[in-house]
Each structure stands twice: as structure tokens, then as C-alpha cells.
Amino acid sequence: MSRMVSLLLTLVMGWSVAARAQDMTQVLAGFEKRTTVKVLPNGLTLIVCERPEAPVFSFYTLVDAGSANDPEGASGLAHMFEHIAFKGTTEIGTTNYPAEKVALTRLEAAYSAYDAEVRKRVGQDANRLATLKKAFEDAQTAAQKFVVPNQFAELAEENGAVGLNASTGEDSTQYFWSMPSNRLELWAYMESGRIGKPVAREFYKERDVVQEERRMRTDSDPIGAMVEQFLATAYVAHPYRVPTVGWESEISQVNATEAAAFHAKYYVPSNIVVAVVGDLKAADTMPMLEKYFGAIPPGPKPEPMTTIEPPQFAEKSLVIREATQPFYLEGYHRPDYRDPDDAVYEAIADIFSNGRTSRLYKSLVRDQKIAADAEGFSGFPGDKFPGLFAFYAVPVPGHTPDEMRDAIHKEIEKLKTTDVTDEELEMFKTRSRADLLRGLDDNEGLAQQLADYQTRFGDWRELFRKLDRIDKVNKADIRRVANQSFVENNRTSSRIEFTQPTQATQAAGGAK
């Protein structure tokens, strides 16, 4: 165990409100001693945090680009590339890269010719289409000969990797796993390779896999399907209106050339933070890490996505009538995470949602007995750009989405007109602090938080300093923000109304 953390955290105990800032400063000081940040000459940021408690480490690679950066007409590309990042590199996953490269170039040409024929609105020739399709499939088979399928992930797994996965969100894309610490150099080799020289092999089969993912998460999941429609309604201009997984037709059209272009533009070292936490010493390992990660070719930082959602000026709502149990969701636009009121929104989410002392539980679940679950939460679907503050409720049998809406509105109205109690505010602040502390003995969670805060604020210390902003939240702030944000014209709502299936809907559903 770490003496330092233990010693410093001991001081945290028994704090008083006045002593809080002081305490967290000391916890932060402990982390300062164990945490090293280095920006390499190519622009990549490395964070090493030493936690020698057990001979393991976790890493978290955060690429500051997500589906909000998908090009127009190619929704799902960021996510598609995330899948491709498991297909290997110029060295891993191939039996002969130079020959494979030639085959992949031919494959792209064959796909492009086939695709052009498929998309022809006028004058499509069936024979030509069949020939081009055959040529594409042959080229695919030819390229496949050089592939060692899944070698990248296998190499990690046979070396003891656990929790190997990645995720794509609207705001960013992240890769992570944990390993025994004697595999640190192997990991550095693999991770720098996948960032620097990934190969989009088996692309068109992976597209099918992603379509299955879409069917599972969106098409065949009533809540997933509702969320997609909800966001497409709430946003008119900003890419938050487009699903991360992509629209079905666009997933079916993206190609490996586009994926490579996405990589070239967004996977530049200056757009990436890699955090490693665990049994490693910065002084000993930094030269090795630099050797691998420093070799990634530099590139210009991508221009930011600059579309700004215009202010909403009319209330919007959608109703889904399906043979699915009722549900209610509503959202209000709010500023992004850098806004001075960010902590105020956090306070509202906590007071409305955190546990059985929360307002929505007490009101809708415990006292009115109309919902099984009700919450408010922030940053939906992201918070790098202005996202939504959303509320939802799950009615118990016999109760309707309209009752959920009315009950939520009553609570929002109360928030606008009456101060929250001292106790509520205090619970929020205490919990924020305890939650932060509770996460500090977890390599995986720490790696994520360090990379996240470093990306968002340019300094991981913000993870601790945010508590200062939380401590400053007062009752007037909460009323002000509630009155500002939670207004009719800024609202989008969505409800699912249970409707018995009919033959007609069955036919429509089957007409795929």
C-alpha cells in the first residue's frame, strides 16, 4: 500500500466544512508526488501515476474525438474506427504487410467501383453490378489471405490483459485494459502501434458486426430506439442529433479509405492523452514509454467542431406508440462542462436523483407511488458541447407518462421558487468528496479520471480542484440555474405510450 496516500488521507478524516479545502489540498499534494505528466515532442500527453500496491497496471487512452466529429454522411465512423483499432497494425495481425498493403489498395479500388455502381440512380447495369460485386469479393478474399485474425487482442489476452475494451461516445473515444506490470513494455509497443500505424483490415466484415451492434442496442431495444429519436428531435444543427453508432444506411456505406482519413485527422498525438496507473516508476519507465509513444508521427491538431446548436425557441415533443411499456423522458439544453455553473447542474442532479433521500424518489416513488424509478441527470448525450439536462421516470403499472411529466414539472417548479435545504446541499457536497476518495484505490478508474481531466482542463489536478467549485454552490445558484434552464421553450420531451400491436404495424416492421 502507498504510505503517502494513507498518511494524507488520514488527515481527511473528521473534516469540518471550513477545513475541507485544506484537506483536499493535502490529498492532491500526495498525488503530485506520484504523478508525472509529460508532453512528448510529437504532442502526445503521457500521465504516469505510481500505485505499487500490486504488480499490475491499468491504462486509458483518450482520443479527443468522438461521433460528434463524424463527417457529414458518414455517421458512425468514429465508432467504426474504434472497432478497426483492434484489427492490428503493420506488424501485428498480418503475415506479410507489404503484400497485404497492395491487396488492401486493390480492395479499396474494387469496393469503390462496386459502390459507385450500387449508388447509380440512373442506368445501373445488372451485369456490371454482378461483375463488380464479384471483383470486390475476390479482392476481399485476396486481402484476407494475409490476415492473422484478432492477433492484436489475442496477444494482449495471452499476456494477461483483463477488461480489454474500448468505447466511443459523442465526445471522445477511449481504449483500456489492465495487465500484469511485467508486460508494461509489451503494452507500450502495442498501444503506440495501434495509435500510430493501425491497418483497416477486414473492414467490410466488421461493418456487418457493427450493424448487428446497432440492431441490438437501438433497433431491438425500445429505450435505445427512443433515445435515438429523442436526440434527433432535441437537436437541429449540432452533431449530438446523430447517433454514435450511426444511421443504418450510413454504416453500410462507409469505407476503409474514409476510416483511414478519420484516423489521419484525429488520431494525431496532440489529440491524445494516455494515462497509466499502477506498479511502475515514472523515473524508470518514462524513457521506454517515450521511445514507443514518441515514435508516432506528429500531425496538426484537428480543427475543432464548431457548430453551435441555435437556441431552442419552441417546445418539442414526440410520442412513440408501440407495444412497449410506458416511459417518460424530457431534456433541456444546458451549457458545456466548462461553464461556471457546471457544478450547479451537478448539485441539481444529485439532489433530484441520488438515492432514497433524493427529491424524485421521495416524491414519485415513495409518496405518490406512481413511478418505480425517476431521476434527473446531466450531460446527455455528452458535455464537451452543450448537452441536455434530462429527467426521466418509469411508471408503475396503471400510471401514465403524462402523470410522470406532471410530477416532474411540479418538482422543477419547486426548485425554481423555493430554496433547497441546507441539509440537501450539505449531502451533495459530502457525497461528492466521498465519491472522489472512494475511487482513489482503483487503477482503472484513476487512469480514466486522470486522462479525462487532463484532456478537458489541460490539468489532471482539476479532478481534485473541482471540489472547490462544488463547495461554492449555494441555494441562490440552484434557483437561478433552474429558472434559466428549465423553461418550456427549452424543452424536448418523449413518451412511450403502450399500444396493442396490429397487423398493419407488423407488416411495416417486416418490410425491411
Q: Which of residues 366-405 bind other proteins (CB under 8 A)?
A: 366, 369, 372-373, 375, 377-383, 390, 392, 394-398
Residue 287 binding other proteins, by CB under 8 A: no
- Tell me the C-alpha distance between 95 and 491, whole Å: 55
Q: Which is nearer to other proteins, 92 or 348 (CB)?
A: 92
- Tell me the C-alpha distance between 22 and 11, whole Å: 10
Q: Which of 44, 245, 412, 467 is close enough to bind other proteins by CB under 8 A?
A: 245
Beta carbons of 317 and 229 less than 8 angstroms apart: no
Interface with other proteins by CB under 8 A: which range of 30-38, 135-143, 430-438, 466-474?
430-438
What kind and span of H or E run contains 293? helix 282-293
CA trace torsion 25, 26, 29, 34 (10° rounding) = -130
Size of interface with other proteins, in residues (CB under 8 A):
131
Strands 316-322, 491-498: parallel, antiparallel or unpaired by DSSP? parallel
- Tell me the C-alpha distance between 426 and 436, whole Å: 16
Q: Is the Cα torsion angle 202, 208, 212, 215 positive or negative in sign? A: positive
Q: Which is nearer to other proteins, 123 or 287 (CB)?
A: 287
Cell numbers placing 507: 407488416
Residue 25 binding other proteins, by CB under 8 A: no
- Tell me the C-alpha distance between 443 and 5, whole Å: 14
Binding mask 42-81 for other proteins (x = CB under 8 A): ----------xxxxx----------x-----------x--
Which of positions 319-348 make contact with other proteins (CB under 8 A)?
A: 322-325, 329, 337
CB of 117 to other proteins, least distance (A): 22
CB of 459 to other proteins, least distance (A): 18
Nearest to 379 by CA among 192, 172, 194: 172
Residue 224 binding other proteins, by CB under 8 A: yes
Q: Which of 434, 459, 472, 483 is close enough to bind other proteins by CB under 8 A?
A: 434
Residue 290 binding other proteins, by CB under 8 A: no
Q: Which is nearer to other proteins, 130 or 162 (CB)?
A: 162
Which of positions 107-146 make contact with other proteins (CB under 8 A)?
A: none
CA distances from 329 to 148, 359, 383, 405 (A): 46, 17, 18, 8
Which of positions 490-509 make contact with other proteins (CB under 8 A)?
A: 501, 505-507, 509
Q: Which of 16, 41, 423, 500 is close enough to bind other proteins by CB under 8 A?
A: 423
Nearest to 363 by CA among 352, 349, 350: 352
CB of 160 to other proteins, least distance (A): 3
HSE-CB at 302 with a 13 A cutoff on CA atoms is 21
Residue 232 binding other proteins, by CB under 8 A: no
Q: Which is nearer to other proteins, 46 or 280 (CB)?
A: 280
Q: Which of 70, 117, 170, 191 is close enough to bind other proteins by CB under 8 A?
A: 170
* 373: β partners: 394
Residue 239 binding other proteins, by CB under 8 A: no
Q: Which of 33, 120, 205, 472 is close enough to bind other proteins by CB under 8 A?
A: 205
Which of positions 448-487 make contact with other proteins (CB under 8 A)?
A: 452
Which of positions 258-277 make contact with other proteins (CB under 8 A)?
A: none
The single residue listed with the C-alpha cell 407518462 is 401
22-28's contacts with Cβ under 8 Å and 24+ in sequence apart are 24/433, 24/464, 24/467, 24/468, 27/437, 27/440, 27/464, 28/461, 28/464, 28/465
CB of 48 to other proteins, least distance (A): 16
CB of 171 to other proteins, least distance (A): 5
